[in-house]
Homo-oligomer: A and B are copies of this chain.
Amino acid sequence: MGGQADSIQTPRGASVSAVDDIVAAIRAMIAERGLAVGDSLPTERELCERFGTSRNTVREAMRILKARGMVEVRPKIGATLIDNRMESAFQMFSLNVMDVSRETYDDVQGFRLLLEVSSFEQIFDRLTDADVEALREINEGFRISVPVNDAAERDFRLHTRLIFILGNKAVLDVYGIMKPVILKIMLRNKTRRVFEGENYEDHARIIDALDARDRVAYQYRMREHLVNGYNRWNKAVDRGEA
């Protein structure tokens, strides 16, 4: 990558872009002042004055920091340092449904088995009655949802709520970027009229296993639930219905 002419761009004082300078300057300021997560940055206008640039330039620099998950900006509040870099990194690789291959589907489903079945120890360690209650509520909403889009959305929400129990934001973020693919899998199953009632029953029994703290039953039922949808998908794909 960009190995064109290293010597040209390097002079530290004469820079390529004013915006990049501001980004570097802000980073230097963070380092110099020892700012950490939760601390505030000066206002945009202050930064303009400090660095002698226009506000638009500062704003573009701010957009970069925001895109990198380093700051959070709110009107009247200003910019505060955060560490959402991991989430931002994941979002860069958000899957686009358009170009998802069969292999990707397999991988996503395998990933789900890892996150939703193999993680049972962590799930049961952190599980509370409130979690069970929330899951039941979502599942009830799932049963009465009519449009397939809505049903798939609620289906996904239920599984997301399950992942939420893990209390791991990175895992939750990753699950989020897989959403389009997962939704597509769910949608396909539902448009093929494959027993939404059965799906509701699946969910109910999984939640029952959680409620009873029955780890063996949970693993078995969740695995069955995922693999069933998976097999239905595979059959459909093999018939060229993708």
A223 to B101, CA, bound (A): 34
A173 touches which of B19, B85, B93, B101 (Cβ 8 Å): B93
Evaluate contact between A168 and B107: CB separation under 8 angstroms: yes
- Say if the beta carbon of A92 comes within 8 Å of chain B: yes
A127 within 8 A of partner (CB):
no
Interface positions of A from 55 to 77, Cβ below 8 Å from B? 56, 59-60, 63-64, 66-70
Q: What 1/0 flags go to A154-184 for Cβ under 8 Å of B?
A: 0000000000001011110110011001000
B residues near A171, Cβ cutoff 8 Å = 107, 110-111, 114
Given known A67-B64, A69-B92, A90-B177, contact A118–B122 (CB-CB < 8 A): yes
**Which of B27, B103, B108, B119 lies in contact with A95, CB distance below 8 A?**
B27
Partner of A86, one of B64, B86, B181: B181
A5, CB-defined interface residue at 8 Å: no
Q: Specify which chain B residues have a CB less than 8 angstroms from the CB of A169 in the assembled complex.
A: 103-104, 107
Expressed in whole angstroms, the minimum distance between the Cβ of A151 and any Cβ of chain B is 21
A140 to chain B, nearest CB (A): 26
A234 adjacent to chain B (CB < 8 Å): no
A121 in contact (CB, < 8 A): yes
A101 contact from B83, B104, B118, Cβ within 8 A: B83
Cα distance A97–B24 in the bound complex, in angstroms: 10
> Is the CB of A146 closer than 8 A to any CB of chain B?
no
Given A31-B96, A56-B56, A118-B119, A101-B37 contact (CB < 8 Å): yes
Q: Is A88 an interface residue (CB 8 A)?
A: yes
CA distance A31 to B115 in the complex (A): 29
For A27, A28, A37, A86, which residue has the most chain B Cβ atoms within 10 angstroms?
A86
User: What are 26 sample pairs from A and B whose C-beta atoms fall under 8 A apart?
Assistant: A27-B95, A31-B97, A36-B98, A36-B99, A37-B101, A59-B60, A63-B63, A64-B67, A68-B91, A70-B98, A83-B100, A85-B93, A86-B107, A93-B173, A93-B177, A103-B169, A107-B169, A108-B170, A110-B168, A111-B170, A111-B174, A114-B114, A114-B118, A114-B122, A118-B118, A118-B121
